[in-house]
Amino acid sequence: MTTEDLIYLRDTAYNIAKSKGFFLDNQDDSAYIAAIHEELSEAFQAWNKHLGWYSVNPKPDGIYFELTDAVIRTLSYCGYKGISLKEKSFDMTREYTEDDFTDFLLKSHFDISQYYELTNKEIRDDYEYNMVFRMMSNILSGFIARVELFIEQSSNGNYFLDDLIATKLKYNMTRTAKHGGHNV
Protein backbone atom coordinates (compact mmCIF):
# COMPACT_ATOMS: atom_id res chain seq x y z
CA MET A 1 0.00 0.00 0.00
CA THR A 2 1.12 3.50 -0.64
CA THR A 3 1.76 6.01 2.13
CA GLU A 4 -1.43 7.83 1.10
CA ASP A 5 -3.45 4.59 1.35
CA LEU A 6 -2.03 3.92 4.80
CA ILE A 7 -2.85 7.41 6.04
CA TYR A 8 -6.41 7.17 4.70
CA LEU A 9 -6.93 3.71 6.23
CA ARG A 10 -5.36 4.80 9.53
CA ASP A 11 -7.75 7.74 9.83
CA THR A 12 -10.76 5.68 8.70
CA ALA A 13 -10.01 2.79 11.08
CA TYR A 14 -9.48 5.19 13.97
CA ASN A 15 -12.71 7.11 13.29
CA ILE A 16 -14.74 3.90 13.05
CA ALA A 17 -13.18 2.50 16.24
CA LYS A 18 -13.84 5.77 18.06
CA SER A 19 -17.46 5.82 16.86
CA LYS A 20 -17.85 2.31 18.33
CA GLY A 21 -16.63 3.39 21.76
CA PHE A 22 -12.96 2.50 21.53
CA PHE A 23 -10.16 4.97 22.38
CA LEU A 24 -12.40 6.95 24.71
CA ASP A 25 -10.61 5.96 27.90
CA ASN A 26 -7.05 6.93 28.58
CA GLN A 27 -5.60 3.41 28.70
CA ASP A 28 -1.92 2.71 28.54
CA ASP A 29 -0.17 1.74 25.33
CA SER A 30 0.51 -1.79 26.52
CA ALA A 31 -3.21 -2.65 26.40
CA TYR A 32 -3.44 -1.60 22.77
CA ILE A 33 -0.27 -3.45 21.83
CA ALA A 34 -1.58 -6.54 23.63
CA ALA A 35 -4.80 -6.27 21.59
CA ILE A 36 -2.75 -6.46 18.37
CA HIS A 37 -1.01 -9.56 19.71
CA GLU A 38 -4.46 -10.95 20.59
CA GLU A 39 -5.59 -10.63 16.97
CA LEU A 40 -2.45 -12.42 15.79
CA SER A 41 -3.20 -15.15 18.31
CA GLU A 42 -6.74 -15.44 16.95
CA ALA A 43 -5.24 -16.01 13.51
CA PHE A 44 -3.15 -18.81 15.00
CA GLN A 45 -6.25 -20.32 16.64
CA ALA A 46 -8.06 -20.28 13.28
CA TRP A 47 -5.06 -21.97 11.64
CA ASN A 48 -4.64 -24.49 14.46
CA LYS A 49 -8.33 -25.44 14.35
CA HIS A 50 -8.35 -25.62 10.52
CA LEU A 51 -11.04 -22.94 10.25
CA GLY A 52 -9.91 -21.81 6.81
CA TRP A 53 -8.21 -18.86 5.26
CA TYR A 54 -11.14 -16.80 4.00
CA SER A 55 -14.90 -16.73 4.55
CA VAL A 56 -17.63 -14.09 4.35
CA ASN A 57 -20.84 -15.60 5.64
CA PRO A 58 -22.01 -12.83 6.50
CA LYS A 59 -19.21 -12.01 8.98
CA PRO A 60 -15.73 -11.81 7.42
CA ASP A 61 -13.86 -14.69 9.01
CA GLY A 62 -10.82 -16.92 8.63
CA ILE A 63 -7.08 -16.52 9.02
CA TYR A 64 -6.77 -13.66 6.53
CA PHE A 65 -9.46 -11.65 8.30
CA GLU A 66 -7.89 -12.27 11.71
CA LEU A 67 -4.63 -10.90 10.30
CA THR A 68 -6.64 -8.02 8.87
CA ASP A 69 -8.05 -7.36 12.34
CA ALA A 70 -4.48 -7.08 13.65
CA VAL A 71 -3.74 -4.52 10.95
CA ILE A 72 -6.97 -2.60 11.64
CA ARG A 73 -6.08 -2.45 15.33
CA THR A 74 -2.63 -1.20 14.36
CA LEU A 75 -4.08 1.40 12.01
CA SER A 76 -6.62 2.67 14.55
CA TYR A 77 -3.96 2.77 17.28
CA CYS A 78 -1.72 4.84 14.98
CA GLY A 79 -4.64 7.20 14.38
CA TYR A 80 -5.17 7.52 18.12
CA LYS A 81 -1.49 8.19 18.82
CA GLY A 82 -0.90 10.36 15.73
CA ILE A 83 1.71 7.96 14.38
CA SER A 84 2.57 8.42 10.72
CA LEU A 85 2.71 5.37 8.52
CA LYS A 86 4.61 4.97 5.29
CA GLU A 87 4.95 2.53 2.46
CA LYS A 88 7.43 -0.23 3.24
CA SER A 89 8.58 -3.26 1.33
CA PHE A 90 10.46 -6.44 2.05
CA ASP A 91 13.08 -7.90 -0.25
CA MET A 92 12.40 -11.61 -0.10
CA THR A 93 14.40 -14.28 -1.87
CA ARG A 94 11.41 -16.60 -1.68
CA GLU A 95 7.68 -16.05 -1.52
CA TYR A 96 5.43 -16.81 1.42
CA THR A 97 3.12 -19.78 1.11
CA GLU A 98 0.40 -20.95 3.48
CA ASP A 99 2.99 -23.39 4.87
CA ASP A 100 5.03 -20.41 6.11
CA PHE A 101 2.21 -19.19 8.36
CA THR A 102 3.77 -19.98 11.74
CA ASP A 103 7.13 -18.48 10.72
CA PHE A 104 5.33 -15.37 9.48
CA LEU A 105 3.28 -15.21 12.68
CA LEU A 106 6.32 -15.36 14.96
CA LYS A 107 8.03 -12.61 12.97
CA SER A 108 4.86 -10.50 13.24
CA HIS A 109 4.72 -10.94 17.03
CA PHE A 110 8.38 -9.93 17.15
CA ASP A 111 7.67 -6.79 15.09
CA ILE A 112 4.97 -5.70 17.53
CA SER A 113 7.16 -6.58 20.52
CA GLN A 114 9.82 -4.17 19.25
CA TYR A 115 7.24 -1.41 19.36
CA TYR A 116 6.35 -2.31 22.93
CA GLU A 117 10.01 -2.09 23.93
CA LEU A 118 10.17 1.45 22.54
CA THR A 119 7.05 2.58 24.41
CA ASN A 120 8.76 1.63 27.67
CA LYS A 121 12.00 3.42 26.89
CA GLU A 122 12.89 6.36 29.08
CA ILE A 123 13.25 9.36 26.79
CA ARG A 124 15.64 12.09 27.86
CA ASP A 125 15.13 14.89 25.34
CA ASP A 126 13.28 16.07 22.22
CA TYR A 127 15.86 14.59 19.87
CA GLU A 128 15.49 11.15 21.42
CA TYR A 129 11.69 11.54 21.41
CA ASN A 130 11.72 12.28 17.67
CA MET A 131 14.02 9.32 16.99
CA VAL A 132 11.85 6.95 19.00
CA PHE A 133 8.67 8.23 17.32
CA ARG A 134 10.21 7.60 13.86
CA MET A 135 11.30 4.14 14.93
CA MET A 136 7.75 3.41 16.14
CA SER A 137 6.42 4.47 12.75
CA ASN A 138 8.94 2.24 10.96
CA ILE A 139 8.11 -0.78 13.12
CA LEU A 140 4.35 -0.47 12.67
CA SER A 141 4.65 0.32 8.95
CA GLY A 142 6.88 -2.73 8.56
CA PHE A 143 4.41 -4.92 10.44
CA ILE A 144 1.59 -3.87 8.11
CA ALA A 145 3.82 -4.46 5.07
CA ARG A 146 4.69 -7.96 6.33
CA VAL A 147 1.01 -8.85 6.72
CA GLU A 148 0.23 -7.40 3.30
CA LEU A 149 3.01 -9.42 1.69
CA PHE A 150 2.01 -12.64 3.44
CA ILE A 151 -1.64 -12.37 2.43
CA GLU A 152 -0.90 -11.51 -1.18
CA GLN A 153 1.77 -14.17 -1.66
CA SER A 154 0.23 -17.02 0.33
CA SER A 155 -3.11 -16.56 -1.42
CA ASN A 156 -1.37 -16.53 -4.83
CA GLY A 157 -2.71 -13.03 -5.46
CA ASN A 158 -6.32 -13.96 -4.75
CA TYR A 159 -6.59 -11.61 -1.75
CA PHE A 160 -5.17 -8.19 -1.04
CA LEU A 161 -4.94 -6.50 2.35
CA ASP A 162 -6.57 -3.24 1.29
CA ASP A 163 -9.64 -5.15 -0.01
CA LEU A 164 -9.82 -7.22 3.17
CA ILE A 165 -9.59 -4.06 5.28
CA ALA A 166 -12.40 -2.42 3.30
CA THR A 167 -14.59 -5.52 3.74
CA LYS A 168 -13.91 -5.74 7.48
CA LEU A 169 -14.35 -2.01 8.12
CA LYS A 170 -17.68 -2.09 6.28
CA TYR A 171 -18.75 -4.96 8.50
CA ASN A 172 -17.46 -3.22 11.64
CA MET A 173 -19.67 -0.22 10.86
CA THR A 174 -22.71 -2.47 11.37
CA ARG A 175 -21.55 -3.70 14.77
CA THR A 176 -22.56 -2.41 18.17
CA ALA A 177 -20.40 -0.29 20.45
CA LYS A 178 -17.41 -2.13 21.92
CA HIS A 179 -18.32 -5.19 19.85
CA GLY A 180 -16.70 -8.50 20.60
CA GLY A 181 -16.61 -7.77 24.33
CA HIS A 182 -13.33 -5.86 23.99
CA ASN A 183 -12.37 -3.06 26.36
CA VAL A 184 -9.60 -1.83 24.08
Could you report the per-residue pLDDT of 108-121, keeping only the tens digit for each?
A: 999 999 988 887 77
pLDDT in tens, 130-173: 888 889 999 999 999 999 999 999 999 999 999 999 999 999 98
Please state, in angstroms and rounded to a whole number, the distance separating the CA atoms of residues 178 and 39: 15
The pTM assigned to this predicted structure is: 0.92
Half-sphere exposure of 121 (CA within 13 A, CB side): 18
Long-range CB pairs of 114-118, under 8 A, 24+ apart, other chains included: 114/139, 115/33, 115/139, 115/140, 115/143, 116/29, 116/30, 116/33
